[in-house]
Structure formats: C-alpha cells, structure tokens
Structure 1
Amino acid sequence: MSDGFWHDRLAPGLDDLEAIAAKAYAELPPEIRALCGDILIRVAEFPDDDVLDEMGIESPFDLLGLFQGIGLAHRGEVRTGQPPNMIWLYRRPLLDYWAEHEETLCALVRHVLVHEIGHHFGLSDEDMAAIEAEAC
C-alpha cells in the first residue's frame, strides 16, 4: 500500500460504524437475530456522562459498547412505556482501541456487538465466543 492510500481518507464516521454494525448483526446466526427481536443498535461518539457516572468509569474511552434495557434472562411482565432494548456502540473509544490493537475494525465492532447481545441474553463468555466464531 502506498502513502497515497491514506492521503484522502478520514476516520470512519458514525454512519460508517452503523453500516459495519448492521453488517455484523446480519452475519450473526439467524436464531440469535430472531431472539433479539426489536433490539435497536445505535452509534454515538462517546457514552453520556450519566452512563459513565452510573458505571463508575472515569474515562469515556474505557467503554466501547453498552446494552441498555431488560435482558431476556430478567424479562418479566412488559410495562407500557418501557423503552426498547438498545445496544450502544461508541465510535471514538472503538477507534482508539482499534488503533492500538492488531484487529480489524469490523472484527472489533462484531466482538463488541456480540458481547452486548450476550448481556441481552445473559450468556456466558464461552457462549459469546461461540456465537462470534459462528458469525465469522
């Protein structure tokens, strides 16, 4: 690759990461996607300060993704007005992590997405690794 390849390139934006996340989600096993139901995937630059405070995280770069909602393992009676389950992916922390590690951005986004979906299902790390391996 020549130096010219990066000459006019910009860091992936929010739309780019949303497209990567959508592709990673589409590549998950169909039975996992079916169980996810109406889960929403969103991308933001950084987590909100209230999220960081609630989790006791000092640096916004320390959180790559977050599941917000009621996981299947804890779901009981659905209440009116309950916000949908969401997975947040955070662009700047993801890019920072990507720059420091030997992993493609797509693989990193898939890993974080599967990890956050794992929170939705209450899965173990081994279960999440198996889902991620099947999606590759």
Structure 2
Amino acid sequence: MVDISEEEFEAYVDAAIASVPEALLDLVENCILVIEDDPPADMPSLLGLYQGVPLDRRGHYYSGVLPDRILIFRRPLVRMCATVEELQEQVRITVVHEIAHFFGIDDARLHELGYA
C-alpha cells in the first residue's frame, strides 16, 4: 500500500489524462471525471467505472442529457500498489481504460491492448 495524500493522487490522475493524445481528448464531450474514495460496496475491488452512453452509440436523439461520468476509485488503487511508480502506472492504465469505454471499446479489446 502506498501512503500518499489525496492531492498527490489527484496529480497522478491529471498526469494520466495528460498522457492521452490531445486529438482523442478533443473528442471527449459531455463527460466528467470524478475521483471517489471507494467503489460501490458490491464491487470493492473496482478501480474505475464509466457511466454513460458511449460515443459510438450516440445518435441524433442524444441531447439534453446529464454528462457521462468516469469514476476513479482512490482506495483500491492505493491498496493494490507497493510503490509510487506502480501506483502512477496503474492510475494511468485505469484512466485510459475508462476513457476507452467512453469511445465504446469493450473490456476484451482493452485486455488485448494491455489496459485491463
């Protein structure tokens, strides 16, 4: 387990977002990223979660909806990592994984790409 402040964790998430190519980030719209301490009680080991309508499923009817959400769960990530470097890498993988879900990429493909 790595002992870091909430501010340091947030900086790791910011760095992970900055690692995503700008051309892709420019396509992310109506989506917010939120850091929460813990995942839902029925999924205690969950590291991140995408909630919304993936970009590839949005049609002409998609308007006037609340923003999609990407949730990053701090405590499970901190618990699973032994070093700061490991945590930074796992945060990056988790953030990219959830952004990929925004684009409609499923877990099977993410596993093939090394993001699962």
Same fold (TM over 0.5): yes
Give me the whole-angstrom Cα distance separating, in 2, the residues matched to 1:25 and 1:84: 18
Q: Aligned residue for 1:94? A: 77
Within 5 A, what are the aligned runs for 1:5-44? Answer: 11-44=3-36
Q: Considering fraction of residues, name the structure with more helix.
A: 1
Compare CA radii of gyration and give the structure with the larger one.
Answer: 1
Quote the RMSD (CA, aligned, Å): 2.5
RCO higher in 1 or 2 (8 Å CA, sep ≥ 6)? 2
**How many Å apart are 1:78 and its aligned residue?**
2.1
Aligned to 1:42, what secondary structure does the other structure show?
Answer: strand
Residue deviations 1:100-132, cap 9 Å, x none?
x8x621111010011111111112327855xx7
- Unaligned runs of 5+ residues in structure 1 are 1-9
TM-score, length of structure 2 as denominator length: 0.79
Residues 30 and 66 in structure 2, CA contact (< 8 A), matched pair in contact too: no
- Equivalent pairs: percent with the same residue? 32
TM-score, length of structure 1 as denominator length: 0.69
Going from structure 1 to structure 2, the CA distance change for 1:67 and 1:122 (only over 3 Å counts) comes to: same
